[in-house]
Structure 1
Amino acid sequence: MTDTSDKSATWIVPVGPDGPQPAGDLDAELGALVGQTESAGQAGRVTVLSRPVGRPSRVLLAGIGDGDEADWRAAGAAAVRAAGDDEILEVILPAEVGETALRGLAEGLWLGGYRYREAIRAARSSEVRLILSETLGYARSLTLARATAAATWLARDLTNTPSSVKNPEWFAGQIVAEAAGRTGLTVTVRAGDELERFGGLRAVGGGSISPPRFVELSWQPAGATTHVVLVGKGITFDTGGISIKPRDGMKLMKKDMGGAAAVVAATLGAADLNLPVRITALLPLAENAISGSAFRPGDVITHYDGSTSENTNSDAEGRIVLADALAYAAEQLSPDVVLNLATLTGANAVALGKRTAALYSPDDQLAEALAGAGAAAGERMWRLPLADDYTDNLRSDIADRVSAPAGPGSVMAALFLRDFFTGTRWAHLDMSAPSWSDADDLDLSKGATGWGARTLLRYLAALS
């Protein structure tokens, strides 16, 4: 067996359809035990072997399935969950493990080890060692995995934070603090009179004791030739406003800023990786609350670009704040690509279930690139049509459009947003359902998933 640095450590042995895949031969006793274990190679399955008088005394057989990146990610996440909090883990890797496989494994180990404890990050195991026969060529894989996991952890932490803490001012402060520890980033926070033109953001945030903020986070590396604008919905809590939600619909509304969390995390991750892509993250932050100053159905809202929307549902507030951000991007930033992420509609879950986001874009190439990045990252999406059949539903008698027209809910929200950025290099990701997991599920931990951070980093890295 490959010699390891600590015989008291717990071994993680990858197992494929044809048996164990470590570097070297298993000792006879361990090999016999593995040979008697059925289905151990199923991706994400962990079989625990106890050897009270042997060394190691515990072995975790981690199934890697067919051995693609997703299967290795599942193996890493499942193995770290099967371990104790203070165990030292040594992963005994095949002699010729690929860089992609190693990245998947490392991401799985980090993502599976995530816990949220009052905004304190705590890994499930104190140490994980990768035992390799050859280390050349793997540094980049581990760097990418670490940056991706760190971005996802941050997005999860921000989303899991209770809304009693997470008001717009607090969220903006977190962005400033995170950016301050990195070079090459600038942050502008707008509040009060600086939001005069942001009529949608002011309307949505007008009912809360915590005033709205508009945050602009910029990464401008030297030599960048592509400018990507990332827009994230940042509703720190959503009561539904005057169009109040039922109790069950309100319980998880601390997650309604999951799009903003993913966008922030991906931008910081791009800076950590020094990606040569200019990125501007736009975060409209507001709490949609109920009070005498809350906006009402029937109100007409004037957006950043001067166009107007008739509010027909105060619980369709996300598109209203995103509209201001998209209009700002179009007028002020001259971007090459605009991507917006939002926990926008329940219709997304009805159409695609809990694990898949809806993707909208008029650009086939951009849609294909995003879907590919999501598939590689382990974040599924499905392209839905920007169906012009429904544009007449947007018409208003008293404004340029209505905010929440009749028709297929997720599609109508996308058509509304399309009005505010006329360039074709635009995509909208409706990710309300996959932003939250009801239980630990491979690389997802119960609670916020940080959905989108991984996809965005893959997409941005591919651009470079």
Structure 2
Amino acid sequence: MLDIRLVVGPERSDTLVLPVRNDDGTDAPAAPIPTAVTLPDELTAEATALASVAALTGRAGEAQVTLRPPGAPLRLVLLGVGAGTEADWRAAGAALARTVPDETRVTVALPADAPPTAVRGLVEGVLLASYRFRLTDSGHTPALAEVELAVTDPQRYAGAVDTARTTARMTRFARDLTNMPSSVKSPEWFAGQVAAAAADLPDLDLRVWQPDELAEAGFGGVLAVGGGSARGPRMVELGWHPAGATTHVVLVGKGITFDTGGISIKPVSAMKLMRKDMAGAAAVVAATVGAAALRLPVRVTTLAPLAENMLSGSAFRPGDVVRHYGGRTSETTNSDAEGRLVLADALAYAVDRLAPDVLVDLATLTGANAVALGSRTAALYSDHDGLAGALVAAAAEAGEQAWRMPLVEDYVEYLGSDLADYYSAPARGAGSVVAALFLREFAGDLRDRWVHLDMSAPSWSSAADGELTRGATGWGVRALLRWLATLG
């Protein structure tokens, strides 16, 4: 990850970045914003003239690169920052990372009145958009290694830079986990990656449940889904328990390290990206490590039930009855609706053993949410207005999107099974809504303090888009960290 440094005055740099905006809201060209550091008059005049000639609007993410005569700097980048919101600065940071990937070091002369939120947005945008995931040494990789932020008072922005750096690092961790091909990414491998990350933070508590321990405790959903694979299931239980914390949040993330659909096998076109079916687990694990790194004053316990849904003679079948942790049963109607089975176990365990104040699960659960909300927005379900509103707001501030969907009570009857307590995936009803209703049954006494986020579509990006790069997005890490920071 590239280095971000706060400096009082710009050191000698071949590339100088000047933010521009249009302050009067007219069609007039944008102009450079007065910076916190003193620039030569001729350079300021040159930048103003260039902005006019290029007809820059100042919109967030607009960038214009100009070569200069020999001297310092050799390149001038005029970078639009829109209205100056955190989101605008995040877009500007992402654009900067893509505009100068071949420069070794750039200096950004920040406005004198830039708030810390602007710096946080800029740093997150640069770090997230510069992310690359490759399992080969060939091909082009960005050369950009250092970004200087020129300010008059580095101490004012140090906290914002540290928070942004940690948030970006944890998002990149979730992206790495999700992007990893499933030939490598078994449940055991995933648990090992969490252990390695937790080792750097001795205050984190980690338990990795082994298959025999899951069987002894009655995690029937995890065992059923993982039963068809030669690589057995696991469950990660990760805890950040700071002294004095008054709120305990349990996060649960779906961790299907590869999903063939099982006996209800997927077509190849739907199977090829199923390495991302553990993006919910990646997000909650990374958010918990991030909470510890940021020393957030809230107790967080994360559960990541991990399994590989494979097709074999030992795979579970449509029509099987699964006995979940705690004793409730579900009749399997479709082995490709496996995520809710592992989540049900983890939710029931959380209610029974962990006594949380709030219970939140993230899952790449259905494709149905993308039909309603598209590729950038997660579906949020909750009976608690305050929790739902707080998480939607935190996601928006963090640059992620969630939209509250209804838990339609008329659909509860669709869950009724003749053989078991519930159908796992009824044929009737809206797919995403009914899946959420099924999970709510396992939230027990915490159903009024439970939130479900169906985030399959926004967990992956098919192209570079703002701070997102092609592939895994790490969706949920930024939203969760933003929300957890409000609970101290």
Does structure 1 residue 419 correspond to structure 2 residue 438?
no
The 1:123/1:155 distance shift into structure 2, 3 A limit, reads: farther
> What amino acid sits opposite 2:85 in the alignment?
D
> What amino acid sits opposite 1:368 in the alignment?
G
Q: How many angstroms apart in 1 are the aligned matches of 2:276 and 2:18?
A: 37
- Which has the larger displacement, 129-138 or 191-200? 129-138
> What amino acid sits opposite 2:173 in the alignment?
L
For 1:159-182, what per-residue CA distance to the aligned partner results, in whole angstroms no more than 9, with x for missing partners? 011100000000011111111111
User: Which of 42, 47, 50 is matched with 1:30 structurally?
Assistant: 47
Give matches, 1:80-119, under 5 Å: 80-118=97-135
Partner of 1:386: helix, strand, or coil?
coil
User: Which of 14, 18, 28 is matched with 2:19 structurally?
Assistant: 14
Does structure 1 residue 452 correspond to structure 2 residue 452?
no
- Which has the larger displacement, 111-120 or 279-288? 111-120
Partner of 1:284: helix, strand, or coil?
strand
* Displacement of 1:124: 5.2
Q: How many angstroms apart in 2 are the aligned matches of 1:138 and 1:4?
A: 15
Give matches, 1:37-436, under 5 Å: 37-118=54-135, 125-196=144-215, 197-405=218-426, 406-422=428-444, 423=446, 424-436=448-460
* Displacement of 1:88: 0.6
For 1:311-339, what per-residue CA distance to the aligned partner results, in whole angstroms no more than 9, with x for missing partners? 00111100010000000001000000000
Contact kept? 1:47, 1:60, Cα under 8 Å: yes
Partner of 1:27: helix, strand, or coil?
helix
* Displacement of 1:409: 0.7
Q: How many angstroms apart in 2 are the aligned matches of 1:212 and 1:325?
A: 13
The 1:119/1:429 distance shift into structure 2, 3 A limit, reads: farther
Partner of 1:327: helix, strand, or coil?
helix
* Displacement of 1:136: 3.5
* Displacement of 1:212: 0.2
The 1:3/1:414 distance shift into structure 2, 3 A limit, reads: closer
Q: How many angstroms apart in 1 are the aligned matches of 2:8 and 2:438?
A: 61
Contact kept? 2:366, 2:454, Cα under 8 Å: yes
Q: How many angstroms apart in 1 are the aligned matches of 2:100 and 2:318?
A: 52
Q: How many angstroms apart in 2 are the aligned matches of 1:106 and 1:135?
A: 14
> What amino acid sits opposite 1:409 in the alignment?
G
For 1:39-75, what per-residue CA distance to the aligned partner results, in whole angstroms no more than 9, with x for missing partners? 3411112111122435311122211111110000000
For 1:244-286, what per-residue CA distance to the aligned partner results, in whole angstroms no more than 9, with x for missing partners? 1111101110000000000010000000011111110000000
Structure 2 unaligned runs (5+)?
A: 1-6, 24-30
Structure 1 unaligned runs (5+)?
A: none
The 1:22/1:249 distance shift into structure 2, 3 A limit, reads: farther
Q: How many angstroms apart in 1 are the aligned matches of 2:211 and 2:126?
A: 44
> What amino acid sits opposite 1:73 in the alignment?
R
Kindly report the root-mean-square deviation, in angstroms, between the aligned alpha carbons of the 2 structures.
1.6
Partner of 1:138: helix, strand, or coil?
helix
Does structure 1 residue 437 correspond to structure 2 residue 461?
yes
Contact kept? 1:119, 1:161, Cα under 8 Å: no
> What amino acid sits opposite 2:231 in the alignment?
S
* Displacement of 1:119: 9.6
Contact kept? 1:10, 1:87, Cα under 8 Å: no
* Displacement of 1:135: 2.3
> What amino acid sits opposite 2:146 in the alignment?
E
- Which has the larger displacement, 192-201 or 24-33? 24-33
Partner of 2:114: helix, strand, or coil?
coil
For 1:140-196, what per-residue CA distance to the aligned partner results, in whole angstroms no more than 9, with x for missing partners? 111111111011010001001110000000001111111111121111111122111
> What amino acid sits opposite 2:233 in the alignment?
P
Q: Which runs of 4+ in 1 moved over 4 A?
A: none
Q: How many angstroms apart in 2 are the aligned matches of 1:101 and 1:3?
A: 17
Q: How many angstroms apart in 1 are the aligned matches of 2:336 and 2:76?
A: 51
Q: How many angstroms apart in 1 are the aligned matches of 2:383 and 2:14?
A: 53
The 1:376/1:271 distance shift into structure 2, 3 A limit, reads: same
Q: How many angstroms apart in 2 are the aligned matches of 1:30 and 1:53?
A: 16
* Displacement of 1:218: 0.7
Partner of 1:370: helix, strand, or coil?
helix
* Displacement of 1:5: 3.8
Size of the aligned set, in residue pairs, is 462
TM-score norm. by structure 1 comes to 0.97
TM-score norm. by structure 2 comes to 0.92
Partner of 1:225: helix, strand, or coil?
coil
Q: How many angstroms apart in 2 are the aligned matches of 1:174 and 1:125?
A: 27
Contact kept? 2:34, 2:111, Cα under 8 Å: yes
